[in-house]
Amino acid sequence: MKKRAIVTDSKRPSQVDANLPPKAPHPLVGARFVLGVAQPSQLPAEGAPEIAFAGRSNSGKSSAINALANHSGLAFASRTPGRTQQINFFALRSGAMIADLPGYGYAAVAKSLKREWQDFLWQYITTRDNIVGLVLMVDSRHGIAQADVPVLADFVPSGRPVLVLATKADKLGTAAQRAAVAAIRAQLTEMFAPGAPNVVVQLFSAATRQGVAEAEATIASWVPG
């Protein structure tokens, strides 16, 4: 008996294709600047979900935001690290907001001014109920710094998701990249024994766009489509 050829409809995905996860959206693409806030009284009314981006000065925070938004001039990086004095809010297509927090931990800033900025940052992190997730930039070559600890200590116990981007990964070789991620995870385990299940650590490079798709997928899961 002659076997009949099996003809498939090219317009209909195969069962294998149907089981693949959908292509990750680009949640930050199309972001637009809304306002800069220098004190708590200027914060917008809590309503839209907010994603906080934080990191030490020179951690690559602005570059990461620009890479995720595919817009080289969206987030402004001061030529003098630690001089950005406000939280910058950006509106996303989904209706959510990005809160780009001031860089912290830069020694050249006067102690009184540094304390004022950091108090504002800590107040925002600990009291803002509509923050749906935190993206923390950590230089992959140095790991979690002492200045990062209060941010994590204040936010992680809330149970809300945290994405730690090990930035500037392009400056490390493959083995060093793996070691950097392992070291950051070990730091987190030590800080939050027996661990912090709501924290994801991944390599990231704004220069080579390494980790951009993975970060997009994580952030997209926090906000409406």
Tens of pLDDT, residue by residue over 104-156, are: 876 555 565 567 777 888 889 999 999 999 999 999 999 999 999 999 999 99
Select the more confidently predicted residue: 176 or 85: 176
pLDDT higher than 70, residue 44: yes
**What is the arithmetic mean of pLDDT over 32-36?**
93
pLDDT tens column, 47-90 = 999 999 999 988 999 999 999 999 988 876 554 444 457 899 99
Domain 28-220 matching CATH 3.30.530.20: the answer reads no
Select the more confidently predicted residue: 6 or 71: 71
**What is the arithmetic mean of pLDDT over 28-46?**
92
Q: Answer yes or no: are the C-beta atoms of 70 and 29 closer than 8 Å.
A: yes
Select the more confidently predicted residue: 9 or 47: 47
Average pLDDT, the chain: 84
Predicted pLDDT of residue 38: 87
Residue 56's alpha-carbon distances to 46, 92, 119, 144, 149, in angstroms, are 26, 24, 15, 10, 11
Q: What is the dihedral of CA 184, 129, 99, 160, to 10 degrees?
A: 30
Q: How far apart are CA 96 and CA 49, in angstroms?
A: 5
pLDDT higher than 50, residue 209: yes
Q: What is the CA radius of gyration of the chain?
A: 20
pLDDT higher than 90, residue 39: no
Predicted pLDDT of residue 114: 61
Q: Which of 23-37, 100-114, 133-147, 159-173 has the lowest mean pLDDT?
A: 100-114
∠ CA 71-169-201, nearest 5°, is 90
Encoded amino acid at 217, one letter? A
Select the more confidently predicted residue: 4 or 99: 99
Predicted pLDDT of residue 22: 47
Structural tokens at position 21: 């996860």
Q: Answer yes or no: are the C-beta atoms of 117 and 85 closer than 8 Å.
A: yes
What are the b/e assignments for 96-133, b being 16+ CB within 10 Å?
Answer: bbbbbbbbbbbeebeeeebeebbebbeebbeeeeebbb
Predicted pLDDT of residue 73: 80
Q: What sign does the CA torsion over 12, 16, 22, 24 have?
A: negative
Which of the four pLDDT bands, split at 50, 70 and 90, describes residue 15? very low
Structural tokens at position 13: 């995905």
